[in-house]
Amino acid sequence: MKYDDCPKGWWPLVEPLIKMVEDLGGKVYQIKEKFGGLRFYYSCNDPDKVLSQAVDKAEKESVTICQECGQPGELDKDGSWLRTSCDTHKRKQRENG
């Protein structure tokens, strides 16, 4: 699975989800950032709903983790964009404008 649309800081959140999907015989369709948070799209037969709960948890947790480096961060509006960034990356983003 390529992580092309998934910010590197969130890879630790998505790697266990990918494994869960694969172990259950499902398929991951897309992993991306949207409105500053993680979005994980998949199909899978999970009768116990364990996977959907894990995805919900990761998506909620993503807005507390810098999408660039994986350090603690917060959801921030940068102009018209929403991003989840640590203080360092928030400062760099504003400097680069």
pLDDT of residue 63: 96
Decide if 22 is inside a domain.
yes
> Does the structure show a pLDDT above 80 at 3?
no
Decide if 27 is inside a domain.
yes
Decide if 23 is inside a domain.
yes
Rounded to the nearest integer, the mean pLDDT of the chain is 90
Taking the C-alpha atoms of residue 68 and residue 56, their distance in angstroms, rounded to an integer, is: 21
Do the Cβ atoms of 55 and 42 come closer than 8 Å?
Answer: yes
Mean pLDDT (whole number) for 23-41: 93
pLDDT of residue 79: 74
Note the pLDDT tens digit of each residue in 64-79: 999 999 999 999 887 7
Q: How many domains does the chain have?
A: 1
Decide if 66 is inside a domain.
yes
47: containing domain: 8-96
Task: Grade residue 92 by pLDDT with cuts at 50, 70 and 90.
Answer: confident
Residue indicated by tokens 């869960």: 20
Task: Please state the pTM of the whole predicted model.
Answer: 0.87
pLDDT of residue 47: 75
Decide if 3 is inside a domain.
no
> Does the structure show a pLDDT above 90 at 95?
no
Decide if 2 is inside a domain.
no
